[in-house]
Structures are given as C-alpha cells and as structure tokens.
C-alpha cells in the first residue's frame, strides 16, 4: 500500500509546455523505473545543492547530440535563469538533474557526488519541480497538495497552501481543502493549478528547485501572486529556471544563454548587457 504512493511522490511534476511536451514527460514517467539504481548506489541524504555540470553530452538518439558539452558550476542557493531559442536544449539539460536520463558523456555532481552514485529516489527527494502543466489527480485539494506524502500534517498542508497564496481560494470553496478537484470536481484555472504545484514544493521543502516558467498568459494580478509565491519558494534553494519573463531573468543571480546544445554566454544581467552579445539581442526580441 505504501510503496506505490511513495513512488508517486518521488515521481515528477515536470511537464513542459504544450501537448507535445506533456506527452514527452508522460512518457518519461512511464519509463522512469528503467533508470535503475547502479550497484552500490547510496542514499543522497540531505543535499546542500551545489550542482556541477561537467562537459555534459547527451542525445535522445544516437547520432544526434542535443547537449554538446555543457559545463556550469552552481552554488548552493543560487538562482540561474536559462534562456535561449526553442530547441536549444534547456529542458533537456534540466531533465538530467532528476535523472530522467543519464548523460552519454560527462557528468553531473551534486555536493561533489556523481548523480549515478545516488539512488534515484533519494536524489529526487531533494528536488522539487514546478511547471505550468501541473498534474492534478482526481481527489481532494488536500490530497493534491500532499501529493502522496502520508506524513504531512494538517498544519503543514495549510501552511504550504498559505505560502503558495492558495488561502483565499480555499476559503471561497464550500468544502475548503476537502473539495474534490479535477475532472469529477471543481476545475481549477491555470493559475490555481500552478499554485497547487507551488504548495507541493513548499511542503516537500527540497534544497533544489526546477521551475519551468509559464508562457501562457495570466492576468496581471494572478501573475504577480504567482511570482511572489515563486520568489518566496526559491529563497535558500538552488533554483534552475527555464525563464520566459524578463522580470525573472533580471532577478536571477546568473543567466545562462543556451544555443544549439551549448552555453554561449553566462553572467549577471548587467554583465551580459555590457558585453553586448547574444543576450542583448535575445532580450530585445
């Protein structure tokens, strides 16, 4: 009874935009058991979130490399915004952090340990993923926020909902947290679903966050609330964002510009602006 739930909890909330993206990650979830623990893999324990990408190469098919030698050093607690044209490999790069795939060459370490030396489940306990196409299952709002965490207390769930700015919505529902959501219940808007994903991440409290920022249009008020909740969520966590909003990009500690599977520029907004390179042209676009 417990193990399947644990499995759901350890599996991933990462669904990039669009149906194609969704199908792609749905597929990933299905093949997830195939990423097996290597013999001798250890529990990751509580990581601090120093992530190193070391000359990383990866392709989905042989003969077509998508990542062509990516090296990045991320300090614990740092926020990195990944930008670049569609197809540059941003989503692919970040999908390697929870080990949806393993690199074909090079490696990723966290706190100095190769990801492949850790058990997949213990690695993923250290990673929270918030994306725009959130998976809600047919159940109550409480169950959807707890997301398989049987140890979550009522207080913790309420606190996570509050920090994700879900409290006003919950107060407006006749059955509050017991309201059934999804196809058989109350349909949530895109903005509300994103806040459920944020609440899940608050509850999970991981040292590493992966955010796939929404491209879908939200009204200004909703956008501001979600931005505030995400800002609060990223405090004290290593945060990797596939960024679409200029405000996010400007506030990141560093910006990583990716093109055709490579990092072409990296630095603060001010540094990249001063260098007058590709970033300036991208942000003007």
How far, in Å, are 67, 96, 154, 155 from residue 146 at the CA level? 35, 25, 10, 11
Q: Closest CB to ligand ATP among 88 and 233?
A: 88
Nearer to ligand ATP, 60 or 137 (CB): 60
Long-range contacts of range 261-264, CB-CB < 8 Å, 24 or more positions apart? 261/65, 261/66, 261/67, 261/68, 261/69, 261/70, 261/88, 261/89, 262/68, 262/69, 262/70, 263/70, 263/71, 263/72, 264/84
CB-side neighbour CA atoms (13 Å) of 56:
31
Pair of tokens at residue 92: 């692919």
Q: Closest distance between ligand ATP and the C-beta of residue 77, in Å?
A: 24
| Binding window for ligand ATP (CB under 6 A); candidates: 48-56, 83-91, 162-170, 183-191 | 83-91
In the complex, the smallest distance separating the C-beta of residue 24 from ligand ATP, rounded to whole angstroms, is: 5
The DSSP output letter for 42 is: B
Among 1-9, 80-88, 229-237, 246-254, the segment contacting ligand ATP (CB under 6 A): 80-88
| Contact status: 88 vs ligand ATP (CB under 6 A) | yes
The reply on whether position 249 binds ligand ATP by CB under 6 A is no
Using CB under 6 A as the binding rule, whether residue 60 contacts ligand ATP is answered as: yes
Q: Binder to ligand ATP among 86, 151, 184, 220 (CB under 6 A)?
A: 86
String marking each residue 130-169 x if it binds ligand ATP according to CB under 6 A: ----------------------------------------
Q: Which of residues 51, 56, 92, 157 is near ligand ATP by CB under 6 A?
A: 92
Rule CB under 6 A: which of 182-241 touch ligand ATP? none
Q: Choose among 27, 32, 24: nearest CA to 8.
A: 32
Site string for ligand ATP, 100-119 (x = CB under 6 A): --------------------
Query: In this structure, what DSSP letter does residue 64 have?
Result: B
Q: Tell me how far, at minimum, the Cβ of 180 lies from ligand ATP, in Å.
A: 33
The pair of structure tokens assigned to 223 is: 């956008």
Q: Which residues contact 74 (CB under 8 A, 6 or more apart)?
A: 49, 50, 51, 52, 53, 80, 238, 240
Q: What are residue 60's DSSP bridge partners?
A: none
Q: Which two tokens stand for residue 174?
A: 């006749």
Site string for ligand ATP, 20-59 (x = CB under 6 A): ----x-----------------------------------
Identify which of 238, 272, 245, 270 has the alpha carbon closest to the alpha carbon of residue 256.
272
**Where does this chain bind ligand ATP (CB under 6 A)?**
16, 24, 60, 66, 84, 86-92
């Amino acid at each position: 009874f417990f193990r399947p739930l644990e499995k759901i909890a350890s599996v991933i909330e990462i669904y990039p935009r669009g149906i194609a993206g969704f199908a792609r990650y749905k597929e990933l979830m299905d093949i997830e058991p195939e990423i097996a623990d290597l013999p001798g893999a250890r529990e990751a324990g509580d990581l601090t979130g120093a992530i190193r990408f070391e000359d990383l190469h990866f392709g989905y098919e042989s003969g077509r490399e998508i990542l062509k030698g990516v090296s990045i050093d991320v300090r614990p607690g740092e926020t990195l915004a990944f930008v670049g044209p569609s197809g540059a490999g941003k989503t692919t790069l970040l999908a390697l952090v929870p080990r949806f795939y393993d690199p074909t060459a090079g490696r990723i370490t966290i706190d100095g340990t190769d990801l492949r030396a850790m058990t997949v489940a213990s690695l993923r306990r250290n990673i929270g993923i918030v994306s725009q196409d959130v998976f809600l299952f047919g159940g109550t709002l409480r169950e959807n926020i707890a997301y398989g965490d049987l140890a979550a207390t009522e207080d913790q769930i309420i606190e996570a909902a509050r920090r994700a700015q879900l409290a006003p919505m919950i107060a407006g529902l006749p059955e509050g947290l017991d309201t059934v959501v999804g196809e058989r219940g109350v349909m949530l808007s895109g903005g509300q679903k994103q806040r459920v994903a944020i609440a899940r991440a608050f509850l999970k409290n991981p040292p590493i966050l992966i955010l796939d920022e929404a491209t879908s249009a939200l009204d200004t008020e909703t956008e501001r609330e979600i931005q505030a909740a995400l800002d609060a969520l990223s405090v004290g966590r290593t945060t990797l964002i596939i960024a679409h909003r200029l405000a996010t990009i400007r506030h990141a500690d560093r910006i990583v510009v990716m093109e055709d599977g490579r990092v072409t520029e990296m630095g603060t907004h001010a540094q990249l602006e001063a260098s007058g390179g590709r970033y300036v042209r991208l942000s003007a676009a």
